[in-house]
Amino acid sequence: MSTEIADKNRDEFDIEILNTVGKPFIDKPEDIKMATRDCDVFYGDKQAIFGVDLDIGKNEIIAMIGPSGCGKSTYLRALNRMNDTIEICRVSGSLTLDGQDIYSKKQDPVLLRARVGMVFQKPNPFPKSIYDNVAYGARLHGLVSNKADLDDLVEASLTKAGLFKEVKDNLQKPGTGLSGGQQQRLCIARTIAVDPEVILMDEPTSALDPIATAIIEELMDELRHNYTIAIVTHSMQQAARISQRTAYFHLGKLVEVNATNDVFTNPEHQLTENYITGRFG
C-alpha cells in the first residue's frame, strides 16, 4: 500500500465519532431484550468501550461489525459477564436483561450465563463424548431429573442444532473427533440445551469453511424464532445475510446502528461507509 493511500485512510480513520447515528434504540419497551446505556469497559487504565447505548430486541439477530480491535467482542462479552474472569477488566454504565441490571450485586453471574449463552470463535467442545457435551449444562443446573428426559433433551438440542442426523449413532464418541463445522454445531447444541434466552456468538464461523458456515447461518435463522441472537462477525456478507439490525463499532465507540439493509445500502455515517466499501478494516 502506497503512503498516499495510507495517509488518506488515516484521515478517514480519524473522523471524530461524536454520537451514535441511526436507530440504536427500540421504540416499544416490550420488544427490548437487553439494553445498555453509557456502557464503558476498561482493561486496567485502558478504556476499550466508550459509552455504548444500544438496545437488543427480542427474537432478532443483531450483527456487530467493525475492524479488529474495535471492541465488539469486548462489548459482547460484557453482556454475559464473561469479562469477570479477567481481573483487570471493569465495566460501568447500565446493562440490563429484561430490565434488570446484570451487573448489580443481586445478579448472580452463574444464573446470568445460564440465561445468556455464548458460542465462541474457535469450536471448543469438552474432551468428552458428544452426549456428555450436550448434557453438561443440563446436568450442571439440574434441569432434568432422569435419564430418559436427559436423552430427550440431548436429542432435541442436537436436532435443533442440525447435528442429530449426523451423530445419532455415535453419541458416545468424543466431541473433539468431529469436523470443525460439526464441532461448532455441537457447541451451539450444548448452549441451546441450557435453554438460554439470549445467545451471544463471537465470530462463530470464522474458523469454518463456506459450507459449514452456510449450515450454521441457516441454523441461526431458525433459532431466531426462539432466541435473541447477538453475533460478532468479520464477514459483512454474513452480517447482511443473517441479521435484522447491524451495529458498526469503531475504536471502542458505537458509530451506527440501523436495519441491516440500510447499513449496507445507505450508511449514514462516513466511517460506516468507508468500512463497508472496504476502504479500511
d(C-alpha 93, C-alpha 137), whole Å: 30
253 in Cβ contact with 271 (< 8 Å)? no
Q: Select 54 or 118, whichever has its Cβ closest to another protein.
A: 118
Contact 161, 219 (CB under 8 A): yes
Identify which of residues 82 and 276 has a Cβ nearer to another protein in the complex: 82
Residue 204 near residue 119 (C-beta atoms within 8 A): yes
Least distance to another protein, CB of residue 89, Å:
12
Q: Which is nearer to another protein, 95 or 236 (CB)?
A: 95
Cβ 156 to another protein shortest distance, Å: 17
Taking the complex as a whole, how short is the minimal distance between the CB of residue 125 and another protein, in angstroms? 8
Q: CB of residue 127 vs another protein: minimum separation in angstroms?
A: 4
Distance CA 24, CA 257 (A): 5
Smallest distance from the beta carbon of 9 to another protein, in angstroms? 33
Q: Tell me which residues touch another protein (CB under 8 A).
A: 80, 82, 85, 87, 110-111, 113-114, 117-118, 120, 122, 124-128, 136-137, 140-141, 174, 176, 187, 190-191, 194
What is the Cα–Cα distance from 94 to 51, expressed in whole angstroms?
10
Pick the closer one to another protein by CB: 10 or 122.
122
Which residue's CB is nearer to another protein, number 13 or number 126? 126
What is the smallest separation between the CB atom of 47 and another protein, expressed in angstroms?
19
In terms of CB distance, is 66 or 137 closer to another protein? 137
Nearer to another protein, 6 or 88 (CB): 88
> Taking the C-alpha atoms of 41, 94, 188 and 241 in order, what is their torsion angle to the nearest 10 degrees?
-90
Cell numbers representing residue 186 in the block: 455441537
Residue whose CB is less far from another protein, 36 or 80:
80
Least spacing, CB of residue 181 vs another protein, in Å = 17
Task: Write down the least CB distance from residue 51 to another protein, Å.
Answer: 26
